[in-house]
Structure 1
């Protein structure tokens, strides 16, 4: 039997983080939510995360710096970054990391679900 797949959400905005967690749970996934990159990196869930949703701009470590650290550790879950102000240059930078996408806040729930299904429901 395969272990349940965990979706981790990293965002310093509590209302957005909670709403995203509820949405992802409604899609049928196990969710872990973190209010900072540092909190996520220090958690045991860093090794159990099958999919990562992360804000770009957060106090302390940014989402991109966190993902760079994950890559250094040999942990590279599929990731979707989110931000309130996407630009073409930021999108290019994000996609260069190997991220699936850069979504604008507020996110389109259908688009997020498509990315989750693409990454996690493949045989």
Structure 2
């Protein structure tokens, strides 16, 4: 019985009423897993298979956190970061990658990412990054 309480308090500590997390990943399996996890935690979630689709159809003004893969079919997640910054969107960004080497991490952090996580992403690490995005200290 302690598990539901722990899960409920986790949701309460993370979720704000207007929190929208947008996810960009060209792997449908990863995208669906992210959407399912975030939905289970009580977030509004929008998923996009490409950076281009997020830029053209995403709710940029409403997005409170963006989770993006680095290597996408077209524009990279790092280029997406740069475009958002150039357009003055101050969205906290969590970068995920199967190729999270030191150079990728450095480039992502220099572009303003709040977290860089290696795939497969641990649930706990992702939750900690979301907490940081929504409740910066």
Task: Please classify the TM superposition score into its range, dividing by the shorter chain length.
Answer: over 0.9
Q: CA deviation at 1:5?
A: 1.4
Unaligned 5+ runs, structure 2? 1-15
Choose the corresponding residue for 2:41, options 27, 34, 45.
27
- Measured after TM superposition, the shift of residue 110 of structure 1 is 0.6
Distance between the aligned counterparts of 2:52 and 2:86, measured in 1? Answer: 15
Unaligned runs of 5+ in 1: none
Q: Aligned equivalents of 1:53 and 1:79: distance in 2?
A: 6
In the other structure, the counterpart of 1:120 is: 134
TM-score by length of 2: 0.83
Task: Give the number of the structure whose alpha-carbon radius of gyration is greater.
Answer: 2
* Structure-1 separation of matches of 2:58 and 2:85: 16
1:82/1:105 contact within 8 Å kept? yes
Determine the structure 2 residue equivalent to 1:52.
Answer: 66
Structure 1 stretches of at least 4 aligned residues deviating more than 6 Å after TM superposition: none
| Match status 1:8 vs 2:11 | no
Q: Which residue of 1 aligns with 2:11?
A: none
CA contact (8 A) 1:5 1:30 kept: yes
TM-score (structure 1 length as normaliser): 0.92
Please state if 1:88 is matched with 2:102: yes
Number of matched pairs: 122
Quick one: distance in 2 between partners of 1:33 and 1:24? Answer: 11
Q: Which of 63, 66, 80 lines up with 2:80 in the alignment?
A: 66
